[in-house]
Amino acid sequence: MKPLYCILLLAFPLFLSAQNPDDYYQNAENQHGYALKVALHNIIKVHTELSYGGLWSAFYTTDVRPDGKVWDIYSDNPNGQAPYLYTFGTDQCGNYNSEGDCYNREHSVPQSWFNGSTPMYTDLFHLYPTDGWVNNKRGNLPFAKVGNATWTSLNGSKVGSCATSGYSGQVFEPIDAYKGDLARSYFYMAVCYMDKNMGYDQSMFEGGSLKPWALQMLLGWHAMDPVSQKEIDRNNAIYGIQENRNPFIDYPELVNMIFGGDTLQPFVTDVHDYAFAHCSVYPNPATDYVQVTVSDHEETFHCSLVSLTGQILWTSTSTNGGETLTVPLDGLPRGLYILHLYNDHHGAVQKVIKQ
């Protein structure tokens, strides 16, 4: 039986500006599970290696706010005024004595975890310009949910005891708006450098793989904070510099296909290859429900709504192709969901956004 998947995008314009060339992911087509991971590894590992000094110049393109200032994920306030703003070049660290003094080069995967080895050391997909003081407070702490905070930045990022199951000790928690960004950076690193050792010190990795507790947490962060236009723009900018891409930004469903519960689903860049000729999903984006109709088939087909972590949220069967199924979304968090449609002959994937 071939899976017929219809993916529902429930409320976020995730794929509006992706600019990957048509054949970039060609060698990963129709692969699944571990073979898909290896295929993506072979695609994205080939990239231009920057110098450490060259990162400063790259940030002008990769991490610029709409107002031309530095986009610092450790100081940004998505719901209001940032506590401080940095000017490229002028506010580059140097020395700092407190938060708001200057911006630095943050290895979201700390360099001590991979012993400062190249090319991880200057890979832009996990490097961000961030406040020097906050960067210093984070140090090489793992990301996780903080229980009792011992220090809090001006935008709400925290240092403190770990409240995430599977790890004990001090951790750093970024604000919710950037948890998905960082999760997708880590998924990129776990594929691009799956043949490297990133397991030194208090790492979230063991060798080139994410530790189970870290993987489960990052899957949750990925689902909670879907791909933003900022990430899409950053992905495109890095592609112009490093000449490789983060596949988990281009195709967020790849997270579940490699790390989650959908490892048997083959990857296709054009979902219409597996779609029924007349598969309608409406409205999309949606708030309370979407309606799915397959009008060109009279045979039975199955429909499932699945989260990005692989949890089946709803399932039903249509006994004829003209029947409309109503998929309930009420009560689900805002974000990206996947609608799987299949029968004995066809499979299709659509993306749905819940707003």
13-37 tens-digit pLDDT? 333 334 566 689 999 998 999 999 9
Q: What is the pLDDT of residue 337?
A: 84
Which run of H or of E encompasses 219?
Answer: helix 212-224
pLDDT-derived band at 2 (thresholds 50, 70, 90) equals very low
The average pLDDT across 173-202 equals: 94
Q: What is the pLDDT of residue 277?
A: 47
Name the residue with higher pLDDT: 181 or 334.
181
Q: What is the pLDDT of residue 13?
A: 31
Reported as a single tens digit per residue, the pLDDT across 281-337 is 888 888 999 988 776 555 677 788 887 666 778 888 877 656 788 999 998 988 888
Mean confidence (pLDDT) of the chain? 86
- 161 phi and psi angles, rounded to 5 deg: -75, 150
Assigned token pair, 230:
């900022």
pLDDT-derived band at 99 (thresholds 50, 70, 90) equals very high
Name the residue with higher pLDDT: 80 or 103.
103
CATH number of 1-30+253-355: 2.60.40.3080
Which run of H or of E encompasses 115?
Answer: none
User: Does position 340 have pLDDT exceeding 80, yes or no?
Assistant: no
Residues 104/139, Cβ–Cβ less than 8 Å: no
Q: What is the pLDDT of residue 320?
A: 65
Reported as a single tens digit per residue, the pLDDT across 111-155 is 999 999 999 999 999 999 999 999 999 999 999 999 999 999 999
Alpha carbon distance 258, 113 (integer Å): 23
The region of weakest confidence among 157-171, 259-273, 312-326 is: 259-273
pTM recorded for the entire structure: 0.75
pLDDT-derived band at 207 (thresholds 50, 70, 90) equals very high
Reported as a single tens digit per residue, the pLDDT across 48-76 is 999 999 999 999 999 999 999 999 999 99
Q: Which of 159-168, 273-282, 343-352 has the highest mean pLDDT?
A: 159-168
Residue spans of beta strands (DSSP E) within the chain: 8-10, 103-107, 127-131, 146-152, 158-162, 170-173, 205-206, 209-210, 279-282, 289-294, 301-306, 312-318, 324-328, 335-342, 347-354
Domain boundaries, the chain: 1-30+253-355, 47-243
Strand partners, 40: none
DSSP 13-49: -TTSS----TTTTGGGTT--HHHHHHHHHHHHS--PP
Which one-letter DSSP state was computed for residue 149? E
